[in-house]
Amino acid sequence: MSSIAERLPATRRGRWLVLSATAAVWAGAYWGNGRVWDRLLYDAAGMAPAARLTETVHFFLYDTVKIGLLLAGIIFVVTVLRSYASVERTRALLGGRREGVGNVMAAGLGVITPFCSCSAVPAFIGFVAAGVPIGVTLSFLIASPLVNEIAIGMLFSLFGWQITALYIGAGLGVATLAGWTLGRLGVQRWVEPFVFETKLGGQTIDSTAGLTFGERIQMGTEEVATILRKIWPYLLVGIGLGAVIHGWAPEDFFTTYAGSGNAFGVLVAVAIGIPLYSNAAGIMPLVQALHDKGLPMGTLLAFMMSVVALSLPEMILLRRVLKPQLLAAFIAVVGAGIVAVGYLFNLLLA
């Protein structure tokens, strides 16, 4: 059976045409995903769009396809790019000469990469496999979903530049400090071994130097198949849990138990936010509704951070690449940072 590299066109132009056509199909599937499920559920099946059951089913189907496409695309691109980058250069770029500098750079890189919490996981795998220190990589993993252009734009339009600036600073601070703390704990030994391996044709290789373009494409394709095969049960369970909770956000419960009169309001908000899988844009309408009901801004920011940085589906996916000790440390350190931010902002904005 011929390899992927052998089946690609012999000319550079032919290979780029194949890649361009594949990218076009991927983009069409991604952007048409929502419309397809709208037609099938609302028109063909006659389900009421506003019904909670419809929202749950739509969420599961739409997000399964969306995250599957994102994972495939990100894994492929990151793997191919990683094949061109030496371990030493990548480590020097994000590792930094001074402790903490790499964490700040990685957190900043996370801000400009529009990944949700689940689709940031393949980039995490790529960084670790390229030799980037684990603490620095974790700063990226936290910052990428936590602080992004959509969240910044929506916060600015809804609450003004002061709250937006506070959110950006807090998000970068949590990502930088949490990654630095975890790195200092020496948690690299708690990463699953397969994350550090680079494979081609089913065999682990020590170096990507000298690979042909076709072999790099093959390596990317194989990595997509390998990782998706390993994580798809976790992916479906995570999205399924998020879909069940989606549309059932306990708004009245929130205002009762996480309001300004409850000293444990921030803790309640974070506890509720973790299983509410969403991205920053998806959770923003609820944040605005809760703000209109009088919830403190620090509590709302902690809630929003817990939703996008500690979502239950992300934890399920991360369990495939992190051992339980590191996963527990990750949740504890990031959660503590988010809670601290919530109480600090409630104090400052009182």
d(Cα 289, Cα 294) in Å, to the nearest integer? Answer: 9
Instruction: Mark out the alpha helices in the chain (DSSP H runs).
Output: 4-7, 12-38, 52-84, 87-95, 101-111, 120-129, 134-146, 149-159, 161-184, 213-245, 251-257, 265-273, 280-292, 297-309, 312-321, 324-348
pLDDT reported for residue 87: 47
What are the angstrom distances between the C-alpha of 306 and each of 24, 276, 335?
34, 9, 7
pLDDT reported for residue 27: 92
Whether 176 and 139 have beta carbons less than 8 Å apart is answered as yes
d(Cα 177, Cα 180) in Å, to the nearest integer? Answer: 5
pLDDT reported for residue 149: 64
What residue type is 159 in one-letter code? F
d(Cα 208, Cα 200) in Å, to the nearest integer? Answer: 9
Neighbours of 84 (CB within 10 A): 11
Residue 318 makes CB contacts below 8 A (sequence gap 6+) with 121, 327, 330
Q: What is the dihedral of CA 61, 63, 65, 67, to 10 degrees?
A: -160
What residue type is 100 in one-letter code? G
pLDDT reported for residue 122: 66
Whether 163 and 297 have beta carbons less than 8 Å apart is answered as yes
In the chain, the N- to C-terminal Cα span, in Å, equals 68
d(Cα 150, Cα 116) in Å, to the nearest integer? Answer: 11
User: pLDDT tens digits for the chain (350 residues)?
Assistant: 456 656 667 677 787 888 889 899 999 999 999 899 999 999 999 998 878 888 888 888 988 888 788 778 877 886 777 677 554 455 556 655 456 788 888 888 777 665 555 566 666 776 776 667 888 888 888 887 777 665 676 677 767 888 888 888 888 888 898 889 888 888 888 887 766 665 545 555 445 556 777 778 887 788 788 777 766 776 676 677 667 655 665 556 677 777 777 788 899 888 888 776 665 555 666 677 677 777 888 888 888 888 877 877 677 777 877 888 988 888 888 888 889 888 988 888 76
pLDDT reported for residue 1: 40
pLDDT reported for residue 97: 47
